[in-house]
Chain A
Amino acid sequence: MVRFMLRRLLAMVLVLLAVSVVVFLIFNVIPNGDPAARMAGKQATATQVEAIRREWGFDEPIWVQYATTMRKVFTGDLISYTNRLDVDEEILRGLPATLSLAIGAAVIWMVLGVAFGAFAALRAGRLADRAISVLALVGISVPVFWLGALMSHYLGFRAGIFPSGGYEPLTRDPLGWAYHLVLPWTALALLFVGLYSRVLRASVLDGLRQPYVETARAKGLSERRVLVGHVLKNSLIPIVSLWGLDFAVVLGGGAILTESVFDLDGVGQFAADAIAQLDAPPVLAVTLLGAFFVVLLGAVVDIVHAALDARVRVT
């Protein structure tokens, strides 16, 4: 276990290093990316730009700039190039909205995905199964920004059933929090409900063919207990792993589009705005945060997987 943790820690360091280098380099090579010019504004003279460049150290060799930036990332001194706001503070400010969105959506897609998947597997080949398959494909194919925009427009703006955007902190108004998040949760979860129901359907169908299921039936267990106690228990193991990883991705910026459409003002939206401005520091910080979540939850998933399935060992 100690070896496992050490190895994962090392992996995390390497991944974060690689991600930061890549992001940093991208911002150095893209055209129009000169931070000094952007900071100076449109009307700036060449000397003003030059002054900013010197002041911010943009004339230093690239590896020095990288080292400076990385130091700032970890000391919390990172400042946006465009609006000069403290990046860490901005991220912290957006985190509750992003967490709320990710956790709620993850619960919804897990529950619905499993329910639909198991139901489809038990009705395999019949009408209900085909209907769920089609719906799942629709869910997977519909782009979240389009669906989100439609929902926000018709259910929110036009019908007025739901708020058409914005975020209400949980601490201030729990009901309002949920009320504001219903549409974003649904929009974000839909894709995963589709995916998960397909994965679980295949996994349950495979499980039903396993000899141990026949053993369970031959033992005299009721069909319901065979399904819940043996088939589903085995089929959920891969789903749980998948869930952890998908959750990490959503948390680490995968919900950018949903956040923007519903104006949640979360970390994703912050990153989206920064990208639009070619503002390197926030993008770097958010990307690192995302990578951190992915690697962290990857390790958690491995530990949980080993706990659920004794054949798997963490190494």
Chain B
Amino acid sequence: MSADPLLHVSGLDVSFETRQGLVRAVDGLSLTLARGEVLGIVGESGSGKSVAMRSLLALAPGPGARLSGSVRFDGVELLAATERELGRVRGARIALVPQDAMSALDPVMRVGKQITEQIRTHEDCSREEARGRALALLERVGIPRPREAFRAYPHELSGGMRQRALIAMAVSCGPEVLIADEPTAALDVTIEAQVLELLRDIGERLGTAVILVTHDIAVVAGLADRLAVMYAGRIVEEGPADRVLSDPQHPYTWGLLGSAPCDRNGEPRALTAIPGAPPSLVHPPEGCHFRPRCSHEFEACSATPRLEERLVDAHGHADRCWLSPEEKHARRLPSERAELGPERTPA
């Protein structure tokens, strides 16, 4: 891990009041992001991943929401920054690609205007210059007729084109961090592949660090350098992507991998579904939040496990499960072990 991470989040808590009670959407989230790194964040709906990502821009999920902890970006504490300071970071140095491309664009403003608006907010350039740059961006993200797209209203573009326009907008000021929240959730597979390819290309060519948030672990499997798995507001497992995929340590990660209808080679296989549903974030279970759905629960689980490296040769691979590495190794389904390929011996 780099000594000077670009983004360093520690102990981030986000909570807000609802009619049902206080929701702890993000609970003690800590992570780091190095320059040029691709971090995949996997979590199901309600895992707090989207709320967490917005906190990285000091955006609260609503009025009255409380953000606490620390988000340090390039030495600046964003949670303590003024609106003016934040305005210089948002969109310029940390950019967000929102999930639903239809509703994330202003329906009554031309697409081109929405891009130039961002450029002209952060940079002192003429209308014409901004227009030229926006057209070049639209072309670079693979929009076939950039001039038409520039003049179009959001509803006149297809879903894939809208998503591309949002990516063009997000990278328009050359950000150092690009947060993509489910950028392909609404897209067809062939377009999804193209959009993911585009994100990879941006990361590689511009040296942008990318955080790719998704509910589908397969989407990030091929793209991420590191993976973090979120469950009920907490990161339950984090590490280099190769290791998390080949030697997952948390039972929830096993479940996620087992829920994919196809294995690593795209072959269909027996599903091992996780029983039950994610807990309410108003009254989450004591201790490990995954406990009620976990078939490996034991006494220790009523206390909250810390996210820490439990393997001897951990290399930054950490998890939040009380089981010892030996027990985990023994309990993972034999079929799964075989399929997950090259096995590494636990400590």
Contacts and interface: CB of A to CB of B under 8 A. Distances in A.
Interface of A: 124, 210-212, 214-223, 225, 229-230, 233-234, 237, 308-311
Contacts of A230: 106, 109
Given A221-B87, A233-B108, 5 more contacts: A217-B57, A218-B98, A220-B118, A230-B109, A311-B108
A215 B154 CA distance: 14
Interface string B106-123: 111100000001100110
A219 B208 CA distance: 17
A165 to B, nearest CB: 44
Contact of B103 (A211, A217, A225): A211
Contacts of A214: 54, 59, 98, 104
B54 A229 contact: no
Contacts of A210: 103
A309 B95 contact: no
A218 B87 contact: no
11 contacts: A210-B103, A212-B104, A214-B104, A215-B98, A218-B59, A220-B92, A222-B87, A225-B121, A308-B108, A310-B107, A311-B155
Contacts of B89: 220
The 4 closest A-B pairs by CB, nearest first: A220-B91, A220-B90, A219-B91, A218-B96
B90 A218 contact: yes
B83 interface: yes
Interface in B142-186: 153, 155-156, 166, 169
Contact of B153 (A216, A218, A233, A310): A310
Contacts of B153: 310-311
B104 A211 contact: yes
B88 A220 contact: yes
A310 B105 CA distance: 13
A120 to B, nearest CB: 14
Contacts of A215: 96, 98, 104-106, 166
A214 B57 CA distance: 11
A217 B90 contact: yes
B100 interface: yes
Interface residues of B, number: 33
Interface of B: 54, 57, 59, 63, 83, 86-92, 95-96, 98-100, 103-109, 117-118, 121-122, 153, 155-156, 166, 169
A305 to B, nearest CB: 11
Contacts of A233: 106, 108-109
Nearest to B106: A212
A212 B155 CA distance: 13
Contacts of B90: 217-220
Contacts of B98: 211, 214-215, 218
A233 B96 CA distance: 23
A234 B59 contact: no
Contacts of B54: 214, 218
Q: Which of A216, A219, A234, A311 has the most CB of B within 10 A?
A: A219
A211 B107 CA distance: 11
Nearest to B115: A219
A163 B99 CA distance: 60
A124 B118 CA distance: 28
Contact of B155 (A219, A308, A310): A310
Nearest to B155: A311
A47 to B, nearest CB: 70
A135 B151 CA distance: 43
Given A215-B96, A218-B57, A234 B108 contact: yes
Nearest to B107: A311
Contact of A217 (B59, B88, B156): B59
A237 B103 CA distance: 17
Given A210-B103, A211-B100, A214-B59, A220 B122 contact: yes
Contacts of A223: 83
B104 to A, nearest CB: 5
